[in-house]
Structure 1
């Protein structure tokens, strides 16, 4: 079942944008788990890329803003710990053949972890941000998230779960990831 809203790419509100991406992530998990062979590999590559750029943008834009909320440091620290664990498992899966018998079991664990993480973000961060900031500010955050995603790494890099680390390592790592993706895509044709 498709859960991604039709206006996911054009919404001006950062919370709507991120929730739409969470929906697309759920859809991609379903696609990967419901397919095999080349279709599974392609869906998984799309999932890896979306998770990597989505988390980078949250780490650079959303989490620093959420830290300003009452109790925000604790909320963000919990999300960052979850993100690091997910990145570690995603990194392991990213190096695994999708036909490996261990792949689906690890993917299911990742799916549960990521979906639980997304629900916590929506409940503890997104809802509070929506209440705290004006529509104009939320549109500004959406523009900032899109800019961060445009230059974000396309593969997981555990240990870069802060805005500072992403800003320092991100551009070089993103360039390497994107070249690696182009080589892989050319080889797969």
Structure 2
């Protein structure tokens, strides 16, 4: 990706997330779990990186930053809870499609809120160099982020303390599942 503006990076990921929702909705039954897994992973690493890097910066840098970020964290928590329910029950659950629709709506509302209220203000109150540095930090945070939903870890401190051990556990669990032919 090279040097990239954090807002461009995260907005592009919002587009990838929308595409992954489409992929899940169009997946044949034998590919549904795999497609849902890709969506879950991107949502989890994306939100963790925002919580660790972008939201704390916005809190400090923006007028009324605390309120802007608190609104985004409430949205993130709702989406994480919906994703966790879906993940626990699996793609064969009778309510999977209804819940997936609820999740998609919650994620879309959240992404619009970020783009309108947080990202637009960040662009106006940060330099290009700051946004490039934040993008590098976001990419680093994503490499250490858990791959499963973790409601209640919407703060930078909780993510930094809990994220790497949970990420290792998630990655080991994925390797074991693949070795056993379940992933």
TM over 0.5: yes
Give 2:7's aligned residue: 15
In 2, distance between residues paired with 1:184 and 1:23?
A: 29
In 2, distance between residues paired with 1:21 and 1:62?
A: 14
Please report the TM-score for the alignment, with normalisation by the length of structure 1.
0.92
Give 1:109's aligned residue: 102
User: What pairs with 1:144-183 in structure 2 (closer than 5 Å)?
Assistant: 144-183=137-176
Give 2:80's aligned residue: 87
Give 1:37's aligned residue: 29
1:188 equivalenced with 2:182 (yes/no): yes
Give 1:132's aligned residue: 125
Displacement of 1:147 in angstroms is: 0.4
Displacement of 1:16 in angstroms is: 0.4
In 2, distance between residues paired with 1:36 and 1:166?
A: 35
In 2, distance between residues paired with 1:158 and 1:110?
A: 14
| Alignment deviations for residues 127-156 of structure 1 (CA, whole Å, 9 cap, x no partner) | 111111111111000000000000100111
Contact between 1:56 and 1:152, CA under 8 Å: does it hold in 2?
A: yes
Structure 2 unaligned runs (5+)?
Answer: none
In 1, distance between residues paired with 2:125 and 2:96?
A: 41
Give 1:74's aligned residue: 67
Displacement of 1:60 in angstroms is: 0.2
Contact between 1:37 and 1:98, CA under 8 Å: does it hold in 2?
A: no
1:27 equivalenced with 2:27 (yes/no): no
In 2, distance between residues paired with 1:65 and 1:79?
A: 13
SS of 2:146's equivalent in the other structure is coil
Contact between 1:11 and 1:17, CA under 8 Å: does it hold in 2?
A: no
Displacement of 1:10 in angstroms is: 4.5
In 2, distance between residues paired with 1:140 and 1:95?
A: 36
Displacement of 1:101 in angstroms is: 2.0
Displacement of 1:37 in angstroms is: 1.5
Displacement of 1:121 in angstroms is: 0.3
